[in-house]
Structure 1
Amino acid sequence: MRWWLCILVLLLAVPAQALLMPGTRVVEEHHANPFEIDVSSIDNLGDIPVDDPSDGINWSFLYLPYPNCTSGTGDATFIAVSRGSSNNILIYLEGGGACSDFYTCGMGQYVDHASCNATPTATVTTLNPNPWVVSYHYRYGIFDRANPDNPFRDWTIVFVPYSTGDVHWGNRVVKYCYYNPYNLSQVDCSINFTVHHVGFVNAITAIRWAAEQGDFDKVVIAGSSAGGYGTIVHSFYAREIFGKPILAIDDAGPGLNVNQSNFTIQMLFGIETLNETWGAYDNLPDDAQDFLGDRDPIFFVDYFLDHYPDSRFALYEDQMDYTIGVFFNGYTEEQFRDLLLNKACEIKAMHRHNFFRYLPLGTEHTILAYPWFYEKNIHNYRVYEWVWDLIKGKKRDAVELDGVRGIYLACPPGIFAK
């Protein structure tokens, strides 16, 4: 987030009526149709040896068809695969911020630890994935094969890197020109860079490839942060592509509308950005676009479960998640908590038997990829136990209350009250 906080402060000083981010030029409105991409060029799962859980996880890197699938910089991109011994599969969408203008998508540098070369990255999100980063960082939490408590210890895992700045929803190529944050009328397109917001294309291609690798007994799609937002959309498509019930686990990607009174946040990360900059809603079924309207994106879960009541969706989120609630959505911690609890209640009321929540009191962001996945708990009910229960088909909710907000007891039953 380095430079991003400074830029946010500058933009907050701009008069409200001027908060239309200039310098954005759509190069390709529709980059590729991921349902028509030939996935036969990707190596087969059967060619990868079964991972021995005793020494942790070992990743194999398979490149997606280029140039339909790319990183944010337009370069070739990959999926990371670890083959398990069971006939179950987990598809995981990586997180890592979002970007939508010259400043949030640019200015930063990321050092490739293998070559010691600086590579393009964004201020708020990396635009070029690196196999070294996957191997080094994704060994904990649900990726810790050596832990006997891991619900996915013997599962095949397909890891979809995040490098497109669009929460895995995008299908556009955009050029961002320099603009003066103190004077938004000053735009200089001689200083620019192009971002491939094609996360939707990459994720769908990965899901299609995974579905062709066998007739799996259990299918889970999960994601953290931006990847959690990705599960909101890709749960629906995973169910269609695999043709069987699936479980989606959204880790800290709550899909709530940003604070409408915070003009900077609204222009950078509001619904209009999702649609106009990334082309996000163009990737939804036509009737789903009408169904959502200007409602919170999380309500696509309502659409998904209406169409596929045989599937389930689970949301994990700290009630005062600072990264999402304050930094990206522009609320106070208390405002975000109220909004999260109320919207989650609405969906729970409509889908009592296939929408589940684990909402602890706290300010942290994401849990699936961290060691404390096995430690964090609500009244001694640990997060990993909740995931185990979901996989087993049990219907468990855990919403921690602070002893004051008794109104939330009006939600459907299954809540652990403090």
Structure 2
Amino acid sequence: MSVRNFALAAAPVLLALVASCAGPGLSQEAISAQPDTAPAIPATEWAMIEPGGDTLCATGTPFRFHVRGGDMSRVMLFLNGGGACWSGDHCDVATEPTPYTPFADMASNDPELLEGVFDSANAANPFAGWTQLFVPYCTGDSHLGSKDVVYQTSAGEAVTIHHRGKANVQAALDWLYANRPAAQRVFVTGGSAGGIGSPYYAGLVADQYPEAEIVQLADGSGGYRAAGIAEVLETWGAFEGTPDWPEFSALDRAAASTEDFFRVTAARHPEMQMARFDNVDDQVQQDFLGLLGTGKPVRELLAANNADLARDIPGIRTFSAPGDGHTALRFDHFYTEQTAGVRLSDWVRDLAEGRAGSSVSCETDSSCD
């Protein structure tokens, strides 16, 4: 299946959602281009870091990330989401509406405008007082890309896209390693596209901090199961620039899936607690599945993916909630979402504190519908 022939009109709900992310630019002042020279950052304020180097957004605009100071030993690393692109028509910012977030300075990439785990005033926030790193998403590659690609649109126009997801996240990791060298607990998470990349980066963080407790949580990305995924990952260069792990060498790239990043990291770091949250009828994931060439219900595919991972990674924990919403960590409903009598915020707090409970599913009490 050619990634250049997906119909843009197949995902109107997704496109409208992503387009609504555009808004006022960031007001934060960039404090340093060099991670190891950044001044102390107050726990109540966000600072914006412009790392330079090889970092870049999809169309060549600058990348920047955000840090909120806090406990030196406890860090939450969040990879933001916002669509994806793997064809000329999808990646061209002239497409109206644009089906992915192409700039770091869009409102959807500003943690000051988000709620959920970024609400430091909420007493129920599991990460209140932690150091928080927020990695904006502007490369259309689930933070996994490692090459520049020249696509052709259906009108014959050439579109150059910088899939620099790996370089961008690495810049944030470099800041983390330099400024929190003795971190004891690191929670690696992400929403939507960021959820897809989160298990890969949890593995890198675990390599860096062998004595620390690393926990991984993917938010709103568990239903992807389609033959076209392997081709998309190759298009982005997702398996280029990966560490020299035997677990990656053993991977069949021609048949790879997003679940394989869980498997690779779990094989390398079997002690790591891995987890994910999804709404069983997630409409955004359903729209993306359409672009990937499958019309199967996301609920069915999510259940199959979770069953496969439970078989391959017995310690993984999943939370499957009713509804067609998309992601929870960035929104206030993170504190009210509950399934089978378990509140999501409490479930995540237990994960963060090393007290992983059981997997939770609305199938248990027939509340999915």
Q: TM-score range by the shorter chain?
A: 0.7 to 0.9
Q: 1:213 aligns with which of 157, 168, 179?
A: 179
- Alpha-carbon RMSD: 2.8
Distance 1:249 1:212 in 2: 24
Alignment-mate amino acid for residue 129 of structure 1: A
Alignment-mate amino acid for residue 147 of structure 2: R
Q: 2:339 aligns with which of 354, 363, 378?
A: 378
Residue in 2 that maps onto 1:167? 142
SS in 2 for 1:216: coil
| 2:232 equivalent to 1:273 | yes
SS in 2 for 1:87: strand
Residue in 1 that maps onto 2:25? none
Pair 200,209 (structure 1): closer, same or farther in 2 beyond 3 Å: same
**TM-score of the superposed pair, with normalisation by structure 2:** 0.82
Task: Within 5 Å, give how 1:325-336 maps onto structure 2.
Answer: 325-328=286-289, 329-332=292-295, 335-336=297-298
Distance 1:331 1:378 in 2: 28
Distance 2:76 2:286 in 1: 28
Q: Which runs of 5+ in 1 are unaligned?
A: 11-38, 53-57, 110-120, 181-187, 261-265, 405-415
| 2:216 equivalent to 1:248 | yes
Distance 2:10 2:187 in 1: 40
Distance 1:399 1:388 in 2: 18
- Decide whether the 8 Å contact of 1:318 with 1:359 is kept in 2: yes
Residue in 2 that maps onto 1:282? 240
Q: Which has the larger radius of gyration?
A: 1
SS in 2 for 1:359: strand
Alignment-mate amino acid for residue 301 of structure 2: L
SS in 2 for 1:369: coil
Question: What are the Cα deviations for residues 21-67 of structure 1, in whole angstroms up to 9, with x where unaligned?
Answer: xxxxxxxxxxxxxxxxxx9822545x133223xxxxx311011133x
Residue in 1 that maps onto 2:24? none
1:137: how far off? 5.8
Aligned-pair identity in percent equals: 24
1:287: how far off? 4.1
Task: Within 5 Å, give how 1:370-409 maps onto structure 2.
Answer: 370-396=331-357, 397-401=359-363
Q: 1:142 aligns with which of 117, 120, 134?
A: 117
**TM-score of the superposed pair, with normalisation by structure 1:** 0.73
Q: 1:65 aligns with which of 47, 52, 67?
A: 52
Question: What are the Cα deviations for residues 139-175 of structure 1, in whole angstroms up to 9, with x where unaligned?
Answer: 3000000001000110111111100000000011112
Alignment-mate amino acid for residue 65 of structure 1: G
| 2:283 equivalent to 1:322 | yes
Q: Which runs of 5+ in 2 are unaligned?
A: 12-31
Residue in 2 that maps onto 1:195? 161
1:380: how far off? 2.8
How many residue pairs match? The answer is 337
Pair 139,289 (structure 1): closer, same or farther in 2 beyond 3 Å: same
Task: Within 5 Å, give how 1:287-298 maps onto structure 2.
Answer: 287-293=247-253, 294-298=255-259
- Decide whether the 8 Å contact of 1:43 with 1:62 is kept in 2: no
Pair 131,85 (structure 1): closer, same or farther in 2 beyond 3 Å: farther
